[in-house]
Amino acid sequence: MTEQIRPNPPSPAAPAEHDPTPAPAPAAAGRSGKRRVLKAVARWTAAVLVCGGLGAGTAYGITSMERTDVPGLATESDGRWDYPRLALPALPEGSPRPFTTGNRHEIHHADLRELLLPAPAGATVDKELDGGWVSTARYVSEYVEDRRTALRQALDDSAVRHIAARGWTMPDGTSSRVYLLRFNSADMADDYMDRKIEGGLSPGAALASAPDEVGVDEKWESGSAADGRSAVSVYTETKPIGPEHTRQAYVVAGDTVALIVHTRKGEALSVPFHQTVVLQNQLLG
């Protein structure tokens, strides 16, 4: 059973070395909420779904949501994974959540590692992707070789602050990886997604596990709270598919970009994948 996210009670500020408060970006980098929504719609085009962050900064929307309101979480017998109870991490004293008034650049002040979705019950955790920091090289290794140099250069140029990742394998053979990339502002996260990943009908930056035809996942359903906090793009390999099937998704939420990947021999099932995307999106909201 997957629990709804609840905010943790306040706790002492996290050590500075884990989540140093970024220097404010130039005033030109700021934008109103209206501009944020317009940019998201333009980026993904009509074929890519733009959905709201399924958790408000205070998490009130999340705690009141029924299971049947969340795509991929409808019933007990639909193949969902058993994730542990989720909670939004406590923030350093005086720090706002990313989409609250006054947080102009939509910064996540929580430790990025605490915003990673935990592994579900029964999973074997990847020792290299155990929920800690990972290198740029490890992250770009997910992509086809001829894209890696450009992606590394883009991350260096934009001075990506942190990359955290968690991976696991389920008893049915599904391999899952989740990467969170934190930039200095929401504008920089948008720029990386627009110019380097090239989201749209299919991502321009192909994954090594899905180097050929990839298209929009037509089974994906956006959430009902389409308020523009985050942009979610969900893809799947198109036929013919090789021995392994890959599903992938990107979430752009404020200063953070998430990459979520499921691979499995035969078929990577849509229900647990969509569940993983929804829950990771909630944690970033």
pLDDT tens digits, residue range 54-92?
333 323 333 333 443 444 444 455 899 999 999 999 888
CB-based contacts of 94, cutoff 8 Å, min separation 6: none
Please indicate, yes or no, if residue 17 is contained in any of the structural domains: no
- Residue 276 inside a domain? The answer is yes
Instruction: Please give the pLDDT value at position 159.
Output: 83
Q: Is residue 264 scored above 50 in pLDDT? A: yes
Q: How much of the chain exceeds pLDDT 70, in percent?
A: 71
Alpha-carbon distance values, 277 to 70, 139, 147, 248 (Å) = 11, 18, 24, 9
**Is residue 20 reached through a cis peptide bond, with omega within 30 degrees of 0 on the bond before it?**
no
Asked if residue 24 is part of any domain, the answer here is no
Separation between Cα atoms, residue 83 and residue 103, nearest integer Å: 30
Number of domains in the chain: 1
173-222 pLDDT, tens digit each: 999 999 999 999 999 999 999 999 998 888 999 999 999 889 999 989 86
> pLDDT at position 227, please?
57
Please write down the long-range contacts of 171-176, taking CB distance under 8 Å and 24 or more positions apart. Answer: 171/122, 172/264, 172/269, 173/264, 173/265, 174/262, 174/263, 174/264, 174/268, 174/269, 174/272, 175/261, 175/262, 175/263, 175/264, 176/119, 176/123, 176/260, 176/261, 176/262, 176/276
Residue 20 domain-assigned? no
Q: What residues make up the domain containing 256?
A: 6-11+32-284
Q: Which 3 state secondary structure label does DSSP give 191? A: helix
Selected residue with higher pLDDT from 238 and 265: 265
- How much is the pTM? 0.76
Q: pLDDT grade, residue 223 (50/70/90)? A: low
Residue 200, pLDDT score: 82
State the residue for tokens 């058993």: 82
Please list, in sequence order, all residues whose beta carbon lies within 8 angstroms of the beta carbon of residue 68, skipping any fewer than 6 positions away: 74
Residue 16 within any structural domain of the chain: no
Q: Is the pLDDT of residue 109 over 70?
A: yes
Asked if residue 106 is part of any domain, the answer here is yes
Instruction: Tell me whether residue 23 is in a domain.
Output: no
Looking at the domain assignment, is residue 18 inside a domain? no
Q: Which amino acid is at 62?
A: I
Q: Using 50, 70 and 90 to split pLDDT, how confident is the model at 35?
A: very low
How confident is residue 42, by pLDDT bands cut at 50, 70 and 90?
very low
Strand partners, 232: 251
| pLDDT level of residue 33 (50, 70, 90 thresholds) | very low
Determine the 3-state secondary structure of 139 from DSSP. Answer: helix
Mean pLDDT of 244-254: 95
The pLDDT of residue 8 is 55
- The predicted pLDDT at position 40 comes to 44
